[in-house]
Chain A
Amino acid sequence: MKKIETDVVVVGAGPAGSMTAKWAAKGGADVLMIEKRQEIGSPVRCGEGIARSWLDRVGITVDPKWVARKVKGAKIVSPSGKHSLMIDETKAGNEVGYVVDRVFFDKALAADAARAGTKIMLKTSATSLVKEDGKIAGVRANSYGEPVEIRAKCVVGADGFESQVGRWAGIDTTLKPSDITTCYQYRLTNIDYDPDYNEFILGSVAPGGYAWVFPKDENTANVGLGVLLSKLKHPGEVKEYLDRWIARDPRFKNGQPLEAVSGAVSVCAPLDSVTTDNLLLVGDSARMIDPITGGGISHSCLAGMFAGKVLAKGVQANDLSMNTLQEYENAWREKMENSLWRDWMAKEKLITIPDETLDKLVEAVSKVDLQKITVHSLLAAVKQTYPDLVKEFEDLI
């Protein structure tokens, strides 16, 4: 069997993997990133809406190549469609959003990693962990149909929602049905809509989740929805929910699909641990997705940067024990753990609220003067108007 030696092997070349690889390589580590697909960034499994504010913090320079559209803000629509909450540019300051092209965005991040010295192998899927004297010592993979053993001081599981690498290592990333949202989306063209706002529609259009319209251009948008697994009754129901909604919304009357996107996201509370000796998880595989928005890119990039920096140090010191990786664990928790808990509790509440109450809620919150498009500001507004709804976690708001 072919053998490869490296300091760090990163499984998965999404944003989490590429950011980890980049920062580890920058710090002097030998990094190999493997990707099971034949193309980085494809197939897309994402609504592609991101906020603007965090990019600078992780060293990503905005490139027109991967920005499909700059939006002026967000619009949250109540189940009946009668009430909506507009959070626009003027109120949001810098917090305007982008709708990106993941096909280009993911490649740009991987190219950054490559420039820092990362080696990349495509069509290479990890199949199991290599263990030596009970210690994790790399991954076995299948590369272009041939088995390969990649020996590494540390394995990074950046394998997305699948989250198999962590589970092979004994990190429990198993999800409950009420913590999984399953999604379907079309890139729909020839539609007649407002291309300046990311729209989120609440309620029974997408039980336990929401429906979205994220603008790609003047008459094309990512139109999709996510439904909580525990609210589903029969196979294939998510696509049916989407097709029904599109059929009855007049804006999409002449719409035609250019792409179909399928996938699932975790909407769970933060994990107890995402590290073990010689292995760490980052991004979706570490279940870092925000349970309210279902967004994961910002957390993936931030955690990837933290992980990469800690890995570079660990490689230099030749110590990638859990003890060394604890610094990564502390860093991501400091930035995200509280908000992940808060948003998970908010989600648990939100999924119990009937359409009529959601309508009243959106109406009430729309009257509060909001400064920012954040889950935090929205929950704070809910707290003002419906304190009972957020009573159980008000200390996190």
Chain B
Amino acid sequence: MIVSIEKCHHCGACVGSCPKNAIFLNDLVLVFSEECNRCGRCVKVCPVGAITMEAKK
């Protein structure tokens, strides 16, 4: 997952919505853990569209 630091408000909407509890917000930095299964819920829940899914490798 790619986070735009220009758009992110560090609000935690993605963290609490993640069904795998795979996102960690350390005040200003969003980190995705290996638990992430790319369900895309964080992409949709972000009020400002700061998260995008990178193309599958």
Partners in one complex: yes
**Chain A residues in 8 Å Cβ range of B10:** 43
Query: Are B13 and A161 in touch, CB under 8 angstroms?
Result: yes
* A142 contacts the other chain (CB 8 A): yes
Query: Are B16 and A43 in touch, CB under 8 angstroms?
Result: no
Query: Are A142 and B26 in touch, CB under 8 angstroms?
Result: yes
**Chain A residues in 8 Å Cβ range of B9:** 43, 260-262
Count the A residues whose beta carbon is within 8 Å of the partner chain — how many?
A: 37
* A232 contacts the other chain (CB 8 A): yes
Could you tell me the distance between the alpha carbons of A236 and B42 in the complex, rounded to whole angstroms? 11
Query: Are B26 and A263 in touch, CB under 8 angstroms?
Result: no
- Of the candidates B25, B41, B47, B48, the one whose C-beta lies within 8 Å of that of A162 is B25
Query: Are A239 and B12 in touch, CB under 8 angstroms?
Result: no
Query: Are A229 and B17 in touch, CB under 8 angstroms?
Result: yes
Q: Mark A153-180, 1 if CB is under 8 A from B, else 0.
A: 0000000111110011000001101001
Query: Are A175 and B16 in touch, CB under 8 angstroms?
Result: yes
| Chain B 19-47 residues near chain A, CB threshold 8 A | 19, 21, 24-27, 41, 43-47
Residue of B9, B16, B19, B47 ringed by the most chain A CB atoms within 10 A: B47
Could you tell me the distance between the alpha carbons of A203 and B45 in the complex, rounded to whole angstroms? 20
Residue of A123, A229, A234, A236 ringed by the most chain B CB atoms within 10 A: A236
* A38 contacts the other chain (CB 8 A): yes
Task: Please report the number of residue pairs spanning A and B whose Cβ atoms sit closer than 8 angstroms.
Answer: 94
Query: Are A235 and B13 in touch, CB under 8 angstroms?
Result: no
Could you tell me the distance between the alpha carbons of A261 and B11 in the complex, rounded to whole angstroms? 8
* Chain A interface mostly: mixed
Query: Are A236 and B26 in touch, CB under 8 angstroms?
Result: no
**Chain B residues in 8 Å Cβ range of A264:** 11-13, 16-17, 45, 47
Query: Are A123 and B27 in touch, CB under 8 angstroms?
Result: yes
Could you tell me the distance between the alpha carbons of A174 and B15 in the complex, rounded to whole angstroms? 11
Could you tell me the distance between the alpha carbons of A174 and B21 in the complex, rounded to whole angstroms? 8
With CB as the reference atom, state the residue of chain A lying closest to B12.
A162
- Of the candidates B16, B24, B46, the one whose C-beta lies within 8 Å of that of A235 is B46
Residue of B11, B15, B50, B52 ringed by the most chain A CB atoms within 10 A: B11
Query: Are B44 and A36 in touch, CB under 8 angstroms?
Result: no
Q: A183-B47, A235-B49 are in contact. Are A163 and B27 (CB under 8 A)?
A: no
**Chain A residues in 8 Å Cβ range of B45:** 180, 182, 229, 232, 264
* A278 contacts the other chain (CB 8 A): no
Nearest CB in chain B: distance from A187 CB, A: 14
- Of the candidates A164, A239, A261, the one whose C-beta lies within 8 Å of that of B15 is A164
Could you tell me the distance between the alpha carbons of A264 and B47 in the complex, rounded to whole angstroms? 8
Could you tell me the distance between the alpha carbons of A163 and B48 in the complex, rounded to whole angstroms? 21
With CB as the reference atom, state the residue of chain B lying closest to A235.
B49
Contacts A123-B27, A264-B47 supplied; 14 other A-B pairs, CB < 8 Å: A36-B27, A43-B11, A161-B13, A162-B25, A164-B21, A167-B21, A180-B17, A182-B13, A235-B51, A236-B47, A237-B49, A239-B48, A239-B49, A260-B9
Residues of B within 8 A of A (CB): 7, 9-13, 15-17, 19, 21, 24-27, 41, 43-52
